[in-house]
Amino acid sequence: MATGRNHRPATRSRGIPEATVARLPLYLRALTALSERSVPTVSSEELASAAGVNSAKLRKDFSYLGSYGTRGVGYDVEYLVYQISRELGLTQDWPVVIVGIGNLGAALANYGGFASRGFRVAALIDADPSMTGKQVAGIPVQHVDDLESIVHTNGVSIGVITTPGGAAQQVCERLVGAGVTSILNFAPTVLQVPEGVDVRKVDLSIELQILAFHEQRKAAEDLSRRDEEGPRGVAVPEGGRGEQGGDGDIPAVMPA
Amino acid sequence: MATGRNHRPATRSRGIPEATVARLPLYLRALTALSERSVPTVSSEELASAAGVNSAKLRKDFSYLGSYGTRGVGYDVEYLVYQISRELGLTQDWPVVIVGIGNLGAALANYGGFASRGFRVAALIDADPSMTGKQVAGIPVQHVDDLESIVHTNGVSIGVITTPGGAAQQVCERLVGAGVTSILNFAPTVLQVPEGVDVRKVDLSIELQILAFHEQRKAAEDLSRRDEEGPRGVAVPEGGRGEQGGDGDIPAVMPA
DNA sequence: TAGATTGTTAATCGATTAACAATC
DNA sequence: TAGATTGTTAATCGATTAACAATC
């Protein structure tokens, strides 16, 4: 679990399982696409297919939010978009700061998917004085010396760390000290945070290592299948589509 | 689950639970740090703390690999590094291609954490002719027209997609057609792939939305606590450290 | 009414964890 | 031998899923 609060069951938040919370953004994205195509209603089967999950799981997930569907008909797309957005807290404005404006920090600053979901890049922060004042994605880079005042001035509660690993813990402590209570960590470091601070880690290298494990397994299986079935024992794709994205317990990974 | 193969229980690979596989890279990173400090042995308690997990979980995870520890002593760091690397398939060379050399693709190309773990950026591919021939991270960008030959020539089995969402499915199909069987997808699209192809998705926007959900919940709790306990009901950090990274079922997120 | 689809139940499955016997 | 720590058991917990009654 990524939450640091232990005074309540860590896996439930207002009765909604953590696994369900992690899927709500997937549903929201699929619903947004339907909304843009002016589709008025959608069944659990259709929406589940678009989101890449099982329809029973989707209905169970929605049941935690309330009874927003109509039997025999399906779900009203606009209404569901609103309800999920509200549940996720996306109907309010979330100013975020990005600390560490290297390649990755710049990529995130340029990412267009923030604004539409209530996130606003309030400031970019870097330790390199020669970066100060430069514009990235139209936003001026500020020096890390001013971190605390930037957080206070903008009412920031979410911080994104894209520094090298060695600087991450110190940056984290300054962010937390200034009042940030949620951190998205791209640095290859396990951050130590006080109770009440949530950390999520994204780590590309870990994702690749998990892929390598399965890739290796496939090679081993193909070899053993050849042994079992004789030469030319090649697996035939059957057109199935596996679920994607969040494997139950996937730590994401990241840059050094 | 991110695996697309259904002919075996999706959650087990050679008897190792998916949740365990997802944690092996975390252990490996912590062990590598110990190795660099020339620490000869480590206990499950120490290593678990460094990796940010429960020590019982760590011992259970290692038990799937074999009995590599010594009771009363702990684990030999170097030996464990080797065993986990081997299990993950990191003792072999994995050429990868990155398709879509925008901000994010460039950030990944520059990422230093690949080579040390057996991954090698074999080629960078982009659809923009004006990018062709330019060097990014010392690697020349090649045109997407040559995708198939690039994959064949380099024996690539892992592809990274950092294109806009609209191009991702097509790129995916070309990669798969050329023989790629593992895909790390940063595009905001649920990819349809044939059986036997693994897809993992990293999506920054989803991670932020999950943080926003918890952030909103904290605000709501603080309000209700103030109601229950009267004014000044402020939570006191107790110095606990929650586990980070892979929440059981976390889809990772990404750029548009 | 007949057909469709939700919301929920209950069974199953996998993951987590404390506890402790085994053993270095 | 005494102390330390692993490897494993068993209990618990949470997540998934098929099935179907409820109901539009």
**What does the pLDDT look like over B175-193, one tens digit per residue?**
999 999 999 999 988 898 9
Spatial distance between the Cα atoms of B193 and B181, rounded to a whole number of angstroms: 9
A194, amino acid identity: P
Strand C close residues, chain B 8-37, CB < 7 angstroms: 9, 11-12, 17-20
Determine whether the interchain pair B21/A157 forms a contact, defined as Cβ–Cβ distance below 8 Å. no
Q: Does B61 touch chain A if contact means CB atoms closer than 8 Å?
A: no
CA A71, CA A145: separation in Å to the nearest integer? 57
Between B246 and A27, residue with greater pLDDT = A27
In whole numbers, what is the pLDDT of chain B averaged over residues?
84
Which residues in A lie closer than 8 A to residue B243 (C-beta atoms)? 1-2
Would the annotation count A161 as a binding residue?
no
CB contact under 8 A, A215 and B94: yes
Q: Domains of chain B: which residue ranges? A: 12-88, 94-202, 203-256
What residues of chain A lie within 8 A of the CB of B181, using their CB? 215, 218
| Chain D bases closer than 7 angstroms to a protein Cβ | 2-10, 13-19, 22-24
Fold of B12-88: Arc Repressor Mutant, subunit A (1.10.10)
At residue B256, the pLDDT reads: 24
Does pLDDT of B230 surpass 70? Answer: no
How many Cβ atoms from other residues are within 10 Å of residue B147's Cβ?
23
Do residue B25 and residue A210 have CB atoms under 8 angstroms apart? yes
A64 in Cβ contact with A17 (< 8 Å): yes
pLDDT tens digits for B134-156? 999 999 999 999 999 999 999 99
pLDDT per position as a tens digit, A33-89: 999 999 999 999 999 999 999 999 999 999 999 999 999 999 999 999 999 999 999
Residues in chain A closer than 8 A to B190 (CB atoms) = 26, 30, 50-52, 244-245
Q: What is the pLDDT of residue B227?
A: 58
Mutation test of the interface with chain A: which of B210, B215, B217, B228, choosing the one with the most A Cβ atoms within 10 A? B210
Q: Do B107 and A235 touch (CB under 8 A)?
A: no
Q: Is A39 on the interface with B (CB under 8 A)?
A: no
| Window A74-93, strand C contacts by Cβ < 7 Å | 74-75
Cβ–Cβ < 8 Å for A31, A50: no
Q: What's the rounded Cα separation, in Å, for the pair B13 and B11?
A: 7
Whether the CB of B100 is below 8 Å from some CB of chain A: the reply is: no
pLDDT confidence of residue A115: 80
Closest C-alpha among B224, B203, B222, B212 to residue A93: B212
Question: Candidates 3.40.50.10860, 3.30.565.10, 3.40.50.300, 3.40.50.720; correct CATH number of A94-202?
Answer: 3.40.50.720
Nucleotide D22: closest residue by CA–C1'? A71
Instruction: Look at residue B87 in the predicted model and tell me its pLDDT.
Output: 96
pLDDT of residue B27: 97
CA distance A158 to B2: 28
pLDDT reading at A250 higher than 50: no
Give the contacts of B151 (CB within 8 A, at least 6 positions apart).
B97, B159, B175, B178, B179, B180
Residue A235 CB neighbour total at 10 angstroms: 14
Interatomic CA distance for residues B12 and B1, integer angstroms? 11
* CB-count exposure of residue B176 (10 Å: 0-12, 13-18, 19+): buried
Mean pLDDT of A21-25: 97
